A and B are shown apart, each in its own frame.
Chain A
């Protein structure tokens, strides 16, 4: 259709009205950027169909899909313990928690999809080992006390990280985070309760709890990401109102919370350097092994291969279900169409 025959209709995309010249594209980009900058300055929200800088889209897509993968892979260390939970109550709680993690992954995949990446592509990237996820899930869950330490420390660190993300500038991400955070506090409390019961049990149980806390402490602190001076993308993410606090700020705040809570557990944190700095009014912790962090992130952690293998296996084993559901839907649609033709 010739461009000039079309009326200018408010609400209709301009791209449908006429061929885009290079000047048009440049003008629309400039207008889009101006609007985007205004939204950032007002600390308002960007929605999926708004113009956004390509780097903003790419950053969000990477962050949200990695976050989704973390939830999905994060089901594994705990799912391992469902069949070995010490009571029916604990089993029911653990199942609800693992189901929540699946739900969180799905909320996040939905949010990522609004940026234009199909979900099956994201899942394929995860299975092909091309996508990253939180390094924490590449550590093994050795004892029942690990269920406590994961809930208290790993989910605790996740909450500290995620609460500010509820205000992320990209609408669908913020909304998904609100939902996730509401559900996450149950995860942390049930973990705390497991540790509390163990630490007030027999000396062996208390030792088991302490051992789990010792093993999960450093990996949990590293969940906040590398130190600020080694986190090249942080500054841009903060300028885009995706990230609200730096990695070290969140980590220090988290250490302060742990310090208080560990007293209630009557356990200790395996870090003799933790202190409150009166000058900066911030908590400080001892050195962390960032070489280990980068090794695990690069795929060379204790459980990386096992986690990916299990993910591929689950996807493969579920293929017949997906195929059957699709075949059933096609059959029903055909029946419906025949009925309508006959009527």
Chain B
């Protein structure tokens, strides 16, 4: 696992925490924390986000390593599926009432 560069002023970097609540489910974002390295981030995440058996597995990811889409261009970025209702089962109404379809 890689550890991000410590930030200026001796501040530990931020890690995003993802918790798998039980086997068969995906990891879900739980929150974030500060830690000097990946091993400490995992231990802190365990103490902070799974004090009541909330998880069976934890991922920690350096916040800096996450790329995200720009909130300002949400319209343009997610434009492609617009107007493509035919991608949904609900678009096809002629089969209404037909069993097992």
Contact = CB atoms under 8 A, between A and B. Distances in A.
The answer to whether A and B assemble together is: yes
Interface of A: 10-14, 28, 32, 47, 49-51, 96, 99-100, 103, 106-107, 110, 113, 118-120, 175-176, 179, 183, 322-323, 325-326, 328-330, 332-333, 336
A329 B33 contact: no
A175 B72 CA distance: 22
Contacts of B9: 120
A10 B14 contact: no
B20 interface: no
A286 B40 CA distance: 51
Contacts of A49: 68, 70-71
Contacts of B70: 11-13, 49
B25 interface: no
Contacts of B48: 103, 106-107
Given A118-B11, A326-B12, A176 B31 contact: yes
A11 B73 contact: yes
Interface string B23-42: 00000000111101100100
Interface of B: 3, 6, 9-12, 14, 31-34, 36-37, 40, 47-48, 51-52, 68-73, 76-77, 79
B1 to A, nearest CB: 9
Contact of B73 (A10, A103, A120, A323): A10
A47 B31 contact: no
Nearest to B9: A120
B11 A100 contact: no
A107 B31 CA distance: 7
B34 to A, nearest CB: 7
Contacts of A175: 31
A2 to B, nearest CB: 21
The SS class assigned to the B binding surface is mixed
B30 to A, nearest CB: 8
Contact of B31 (A110, A322, A323): A110
B77 A322 contact: no
A175 B70 CA distance: 21
B3 A332 contact: yes
Given A11-B70, A13-B70, A330-B6, A113 B14 contact: yes
The SS class assigned to the A binding surface is helix
Contacts of A99: 47, 51
A95 to B, nearest CB: 11
A14 B72 CA distance: 9
Given A12-B70, A329-B3, A106 B33 contact: yes
B72 A51 contact: yes
Contact of A333 (B3, B52, B71): B3
Contacts of A176: 31
Contacts of B40: 325, 329
A225 to B, nearest CB: 27
A243 to B, nearest CB: 23
Contacts of A50: 71
A238 B74 CA distance: 27
19 contacts: A10-B76, A10-B79, A11-B69, A11-B70, A12-B73, A14-B72, A49-B70, A50-B71, A99-B51, A103-B51, A110-B31, A110-B33, A119-B11, A119-B34, A120-B11, A175-B31, A323-B10, A325-B37, A329-B3
Given A110-B32, A328-B37, A13 B72 contact: yes
Contacts of A11: 69-70, 73, 76-77
Contacts of A100: 51
Q: Which 5 A-B pairs have the closest CB atoms?
A: A329-B36, A329-B37, A10-B76, A325-B36, A49-B71
A322 B9 CA distance: 12
B3 A326 contact: no
A326 B73 CA distance: 38
